[in-house]
Structure 1
Amino acid sequence: MQVIDNIAELRSVRGALQGRIGLVPTMGYLHEGHLSLVRAARAENDAVIATIFINPTQFSAHEDLSTYPRDMPHDLAMLEAEGVNVVFTPTPEMMYPPRYQTYVSVEQVTQGREGATRPEHFRGVTTIVSKLFNLTQPDTAYFGQKDAQQVVVIRQMVRDLNFPLQIFVCPITREHDGLAMSSRNVYLNETERQAATALSRAWQAAGALYEQGTRDPDALRQAAETIIKAEPLAQLDYISLAHANTLEEATAPSNTPLLLSLAAQVGKPRLLDNCLLPLSLNTREGATKTLGIG
């Protein structure tokens, strides 16, 4: 496995790779969720490039950039064990040199949800992802369903800017009790860790109603909200029930695929979770076909 920390060497090494190339962009502090993306890329490509970069432009001033968890040696060991060919580990100064002034913005699908809470977040995401696509020239790129709105935003960017690659969406990897795996889970103490399961219990409650035939958007949102608000340590940020392809909020009963997404503060970390409705869509094939195709 080659570990590369500069653009010139990356371009040279990328030019020598043969066959189909898969890309897995990460911010490091890897867990099984990240590795599920790597394994999918490894199984479907001739070579895999992973990136580890904590992107400063997607953090707001009040967020945890300086304390975001880091463990580069452990990350590299995990990627090598999974058969990754190349790992790109640039510095912020390399990706955003002095007098840097070019950004990529996607408009409608960045509104609401994470876009409302973190106004500059998606501009940072789309800018760094477009740069990584440009530098690595992949045939395929792999993202997790946990950041569902991000998936929709990136797919919109790929479509609009004619990037010649495919985006695959892998299911959320969960702990044994249903909590979505996240690098930020390390911030939770034991009591908060138990409270954090309210997020998965919330979408499960709404999902159960949906499977029983309920299609009223307000009833489905209310089912999730009731669970979150019953947990004293969880401070609800938002619950969204939107059409999965456009992210337009659902206002009337519908049988088209929906994305139920929610965010809540539990102790220090702000946690995300989501599910697709019907629940049968929460697979790689279902998420890839459904999220952001409108």
Structure 2
Amino acid sequence: MSDIGFLHIYLGIRLRDLRERAGYSLAEVERRAKYIGSRRTIGRLENAQIYEVYMPTVDHLAQFYRADDGLREELKRMALSCTDSSVDVWMEPIGLPTRFGLLTELERKATRIRVYETEFVTGLLQTRETAAAILDTNVRLSEEDKLRYGRARQNRKEAVLSTGEPASVELVLAEGVLQRAIGGEETRRAQVRYLKELDERPNVSIRYIPHAAGAAPSSGHSFMLLDLPANYAGPVLYSESAVASTYTGQTAAVEARTEAHMEMQAMALPIGEFQV
């Protein structure tokens, strides 16, 4: 499993999401569609534990789960890409039901997470109130969606920061992030206090770049670097835009952002020095 990459993880998420939406357990799939594979094989596919992904198996599963033709073609392309070393970028359009799924799974598996944020505190370190205020700005989400995303973010935080061996988290913020009163002034102050508390944990480092420091590398472009365990492919670079989330393992892109993050850490100040 030395070449398992983020596309294997994403494919597993999509297959599990399809199965659950169809209302099947792994045992039921095995019983009703033995020609596809055993529950063990399907479970390993969903958990990104198989490098040699067999495209017909993925397509048979998609058909069994009653995926539409467009999604079937996407999954087939993804299955083929899993073992194609030339494919190292994946874009996920906004609006997909699993939009946060891949990022969440990567965060859960990551051993080290490095982030630079220019607009908001990264979702992983938001208070409930900050997260709720940001979700409220999304007019596309129903109240039920907001509650669901809120719970997912809380579970995501606990899984990464508190469960098992927590990942190392290194966050650099533009000072304006700490000054923006998202959800009101009291919510802003509570968020800053929470960041200072998190910074006291041995696996968390939070710094900010003061306005007086001038321009920083990658100014205006937030990003996240996720280092995965040794049995996976190399680090993944994650970024967002107004239309899509982008994941890449391109060496040049990862190295450029790694260097930028190191430079920003050097010019940043400890969060403890920020005056609430």
**For the superposition of Structure 1 and Structure 2, which TM-score range results when normalised by the shorter chain?**
under 0.3
Greater C-alpha radius of gyration: 2
Pick 1 or 2: higher relative contact order, CA cutoff 8 A, min separation 6: 2
TM-score normalized with structure 2 length: 0.26
TM-score normalized with structure 1 length: 0.25
Q: Going by fraction, where is helix more abundant, 1 or 2?
A: 2
